């Protein structure tokens, strides 16, 4: 099987894999999927993701279709490089292989400019035209005209707060803090029209390529707030050269006043996703972000 054949017959890929007709090398695929590098007969490499057999349940309906739709939609902007979707099946996703490299300051500055261009491509509404996922959890992408703050509370905070509470990941203290943010979300300011965002842009979803560019992978793409992507880049230790990314971004499309104070608000979505998925190990991070967000409003609810 070469690349041309694979493009013409994508549904044949599982059969070739089952009968070991393609060289397959396991690679890191994150916390959710099993991943491998497939080497085709013409020497071309493909990155394949499958739902792991040990997951204990079947692949969620539309899981890989959501990622494929998001990748294609983000690629339409012609801004940040993203891998091309080669095969999108209900239980398998295959993408063009991106050769990993090392981060560098010039690549970071270029990434900042390209990310601004991606965001500026915009979206027709908040949400998206396809059902969404973030990690293994569903994400409500019902198109919504906003305003952003009300949409963010309703679609991106409340659902994962409820899941986290139901799973015992949060105590009443963190729950009350997040609920106060939901009640006061309109006070944070910074509402903007929908940007075209990656939606799950923690540092692990930035792939520094051998071509000295930063590639985006594993999106939860939708129309959202551009500050969300930028805030997520600072999570979990932060992406390399974040200061240069932000500086070059600002040169292309300056951020609204007060954006620094809103960073923990935007981070709260992904942190709640983590408590919903992985439990109480992320509880303290949710509490810190919520307290920081409320402190930015200038009222000392942080002593709870």
Query: Which residues face 27 on adjacent strands?
Result: 35
Query: Which residues face 46 on adjacent strands?
Result: 38, 96
Structure pTM?
0.94
| Predicted pLDDT of residue 29 | 67
What pLDDT digit, counting tens, does each position of 94-140 carry? 999 999 999 999 999 999 999 999 999 999 999 999 999 999 999 99
- Mean pLDDT confidence for 154-173: 98
- Both tokens of residue 176? 């009350």
Choice among 91, 140, 144, 200 that is catalytic: 200
| Predicted pLDDT of residue 20 | 76
Calpha distance 87→66 (Å, rounded): 13
Whether 200 is catalytic: yes
Calpha distance 67→49 (Å, rounded): 11
Torsion-angle region of 58 (φ positive above 0: left; ψ -120 to 50: alpha; else: beta) = beta
- Strand pairing category for 85-89 and 92-96: antiparallel
Q: Which domains does the chain have, with CATH numbers?
A: 3-96 (3.30.200.20), 105-303 (3.90.1200.10)
- Closest by alpha carbon to 28, among 118, 100, 103? 100
* Burial (0-12, 13-18, 19+ Cβ within 10 Å), 276: buried
Q: How many other CB atoms are there within 10 angstroms of residue 2's CB atom?
A: 11
- Both tokens of residue 115? 């990310």
């Amino acid at each position: 099987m070469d690349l041309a054949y694979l493009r013409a017959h994508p549904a044949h890929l599982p059969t070739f894999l089952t009968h070991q007709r393609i060289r397959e090398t396991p690679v890191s695929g994150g916390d959710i999927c099993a991943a491998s590098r497939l080497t085709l007969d013409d020497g071309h490499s493909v990155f394949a993701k499958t739902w792991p057999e040990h997951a204990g349940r079947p692949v969620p309906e539309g899981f890989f279709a959501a990622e494929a739709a998001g990748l294609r939609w983000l690629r339409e902007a012609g801004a940040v490089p993203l891998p091309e979707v080669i095969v999108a099946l209900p239980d398998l996703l295959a993408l063009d292989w991106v050769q990993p490299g090392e981060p560098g300051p010039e690549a970071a500055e270029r990434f900042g400019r390209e990310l601004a261009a991606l965001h500026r491509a915009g979206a027709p509404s908040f949400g998206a035209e396809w059902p969404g996922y973030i990690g293994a959890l569903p994400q409500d992408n019902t198109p919504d005209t906003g305003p952003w703050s009300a949409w963010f509370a309703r679609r991106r905070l409340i659902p994962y707060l409820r899941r986290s509470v139901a799973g015992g990941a949060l105590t009443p203290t963190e729950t009350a803090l997040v609920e106060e943010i939901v009640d006061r979300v309109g006070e944070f300011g910074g509402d903007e029209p929908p940007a075209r965002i990656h939606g799950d842009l923690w540092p692990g979803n930035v792939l520094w390529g051998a071509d000295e560019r930063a590639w985006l992978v594993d999106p939860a793409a939708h129309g959202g707030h551009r500050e969300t992507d930028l805030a997520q880049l600072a999570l979990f230790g932060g992406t390399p050269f974040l200061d240069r990314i932000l500086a070059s971004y600002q040169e292309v499309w300056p951020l609204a006043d007060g954006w620094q104070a809103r960073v923990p608000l935007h981070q709260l979505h992904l942190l709640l996703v983590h408590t919903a998925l992985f439990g109480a190990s992320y509880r303290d991070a949710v509490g810190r972000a919520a307290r920081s967000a409320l402190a930015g409003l200038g009222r000392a609810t942080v002593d709870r």
